[in-house]
Amino acid sequence: MPRSLRLIAAAVAAPAIALGAAGIATAATPGIVAEYPAGTGAINSSGIGAAPNGDVYGTFTDLNAVVPFTTAGPGAQVSVAAGGRLVSSIAPGPDGAMWMTFNFTAAMGRLDTATGITTQFPGLTSAGWSSAAGPDGRQWVTQSGGQIGAITPAGAVSNYPIPTASSAPIGITPGRDGRMWFTETGGNKIGAITTAGAITEYTLPAGGAQPQYIASGADGNLWFAEAGGNKIGRITTSGVITEFPVPTANAMPHGIAAGADGNLWFTEPMPGKVASITTAGAITEYSAGITPNSYPSIITAGPGGLMWFSNENSASVGSITTGNVAPPPAPAPAPSVAPTGPTNVVTPVAKNLRTATKNGRTTITFTLRYAASGNYSFRLETKAGKVLPMLAGSDIAGVAVKKSTTKAVAVKNAKAGKVVKVKVIMKGKPAKGTALRAIIAGKKGSRTTETIPV
């Protein structure tokens, strides 16, 4: 029984998959599986999450580490669990970092994927189970003691008790209504919490359903896996519940996530399958290419239309193609409640990055929006945190760089919401992981965010 399947009571060669022009697996044919061993010392894969940098990160509790993956295989292991803490789940946060929970420890971890630096924050009421980014700029987390927590990128934690005793929450995801939706395995309910902490619970039609993970679908509804009921459930934001039986008996569906094809994809640990369900309720199951008895567990959407899943009983993660990639769903409407807690200090304006290399110099231009008012400083850094010189001619939000410097460029009296242009000129071509770092000074110390990898 996989550890992550919460109930009340060897290296594998990866089959070839089609690659697009950029070297990313395409998803023209659904159900093609590849498995990627984590490397020396790994025994099982616990959690999995896709990072904004294009890597997919798997957690390996026995290693006390996370491992980045692409379709080319694993990257270098990153140790994240100091002090005996055992890393469990991992998910992308609102600040561009990856956020982690730990077995038996009331703390959250943050991994900066650009630098490899990890930070741990105490303050939860009980050990976290899984987490997801909220619309208010905080990372929301289910806790084994029956609480929902929310943490800012700076580490400030708020905890909200679930009304139902022994609720045993597991999965959590943002809904289009501005609330965070979660499952209650012990309470046999689906819950929703506003960013102000108000909780509403919806009881499932039959007892013993044991809902596990939950995801927001392209249809605007919330979809969840029922390990005890052997069903996939759907709940509208007004609380109307519909259930769809899984074809394989005793499959114990567990992880679930929305795919780029518009379907929901879920894992079946007991028979060793990964399946998809349309928003109309049609289910297709896949098992070819999945190692027997590997217990596929958590699942997430990754680049190139692939779904990635952890193998709870194997030292590997897997990917599966989804079919023809559909356009992304329409953006969610703004939340109906006022956001609480700080957000990123800057927000890149999408699809405007331009890079040109000439005469041994690279010019990178883009625009960004200030998410907070204050005095900023900007510096160019490598993935390892080494400061790189910005050359003369660079211009950071109207502040001209007149000669080459490794000092931070100061921008004073920035106003929240203002969009500004940035031009960075550097020697040579930027290595992978190079980024412009923005720092804003505040009363409680500096807050930092990685803006745009250059």
Task: Please report, for the chain, the start and end positions of each structural domain, with discontinuous segments joined by +.
Answer: 33-321, 346-453
Mean pLDDT score, 250-262: 96
Q: Tokens representing 433?
A: 């992981």
Residue 441 pLDDT grade (very low, low, confident, very high; cuts 50, 70, 90):
low
Phi/psi of residue 305, each to 5°?
Answer: 80, 10
Does residue 122 have a pLDDT over 50? yes
Residue 211 pLDDT grade (very low, low, confident, very high; cuts 50, 70, 90):
very high
Does residue 343 have a pLDDT over 90? no
Percent of the chain with pLDDT over 90: 54
Which CATH class for the 33-321 domain? mainly beta
Interval 58-92: pLDDT, tens: 998 878 889 999 998 999 888 875 555 688 999 99
pLDDT at 146: 97
Interval 284-332: pLDDT, tens: 999 999 999 999 999 999 998 899 999 998 889 999 999 855 433 444 4
Does residue 383 have a pLDDT over 70? no
pLDDT at 453: 54
pLDDT at 10: 27
Please give the C-alpha separations between residue 368 and each of 70, 120, 265, 416, 440, in angstroms, as whole numbers. 28, 28, 34, 11, 14
DSSP class of 13: P
Does residue 274 have a pLDDT over 80? yes
CATH code for the domain defined by 346-453: 2.60.40
User: Is residue 57 within 8 Å of 49, Cβ to Cβ?
Assistant: yes
Mean pLDDT score, 269-280: 97
How many other β-carbons are positioned within 10 Å of the β-carbon of residue 446?
Answer: 11
Average pLDDT across the chain, whole number: 83
Owner of token pair 């996989």: 2
Please state, in angstroms and rounded to a whole number, the distance separating the CA atoms of residues 39 and 374. 45
Mean pLDDT score, 224-228: 97
Please state, in angstroms and rounded to a whole number, the distance separating the CA atoms of residues 284 and 443. 54
Does residue 26 have a pLDDT over 60? no
Residue 347 pLDDT grade (very low, low, confident, very high; cuts 50, 70, 90):
low
Q: Where are the beta strands (DSSP E) in 134-272?
A: 139-143, 147-151, 157-161, 169-174, 180-184, 189-193, 199-203, 211-216, 222-226, 231-235, 241-245, 256-258, 264-268
DSSP class of 2: -
Please state, in angstroms and rounded to a whole number, the distance separating the CA atoms of residues 3 and 184. 17
Mean pLDDT score, 200-208: 97
